[in-house]
Structure 1
């Protein structure tokens, strides 16, 4: 009997990626200019700064991701990669941050699914307007002032209006509920440090400290 591995659902932060690309572009522009045009110790300081800044910016903006399939949840945070079989997960919590709690009580934050209080308030306002409308007026309309009212937006989906991050957490909770007792979803939690991020950042910090210490 053969089994096929389910396709991963991957969640990332578009805003984080966009911000990371902009910051990396700015750092590259300033750093390369200092390396090429600087004199004395300036090129070395610029190189050390790039070695420190680029991995850190990458870690907090481009790197974070959450992927889920029928067997496990994978969390790629700035400095760690965590793989959690569904059978080892106790709950998925949403507050000021989104986090997963294992049955042993360990918590891991979901950096790739940041909480937006502004988005929650916007969704709550839309839900209030939606609840106030007569039921017959909801079909064929967009989500209200915050969406594409008319213009082929389609009917309003059933259920309460939710912020995007909360919708993602709802999806993950449904997957947890469906798969937590499955045989293929059992196993050990594994954690791996992102040495490809940590090593160059530490090297850059040490080199920058030495150069600044020399005056």
Structure 2
């Protein structure tokens, strides 16, 4: 029986369009340049921040975040950044008595922005607030603590195999891989992903049916 469902953020709950567009504007390059480079590093299995370092070699991403904040160009999220299925899907899960947690690799500032959206979730937390990030097993140990359920009764939903599906599976959680965003589409039919994911979904609304079943 599923008791808790935990969601990744980028390209699971939120679109990354604004995120990469703001980086392109900050670095002074066309937005398509950043999008194309993100796709390239993803295809190579590299950290997506490497796309920024291709534009500005040696870039210290955390320091650059601070510089953006100081310049008034810090992170921003609003309702338009959410995928359309997020609110109805999360609300349906809570109506079934499922605990809903959002926990992804985001900054502490992003955590505040997500909570300000007042999503139908029991908890919203980020790696920046925890001080540990995916795919570190310590992140998933914290996920299990806030899930308040056994690993076998907890599902982690995400688009990125290396950050979400494989380490969550290693931690004993059940997993749902969503075909969404560049990572989700690129690896959707990868045999290792197919083997590691308990479910493969195209939208979050499918989770209510899975949980009910």
TM range (shorter): under 0.3
TM-score (norm 1): 0.23
Higher Cα Rg: structure 1 or 2?
A: 1
TM-score (norm 2): 0.23
The structure with more strand, counted as a fraction of residues: 1
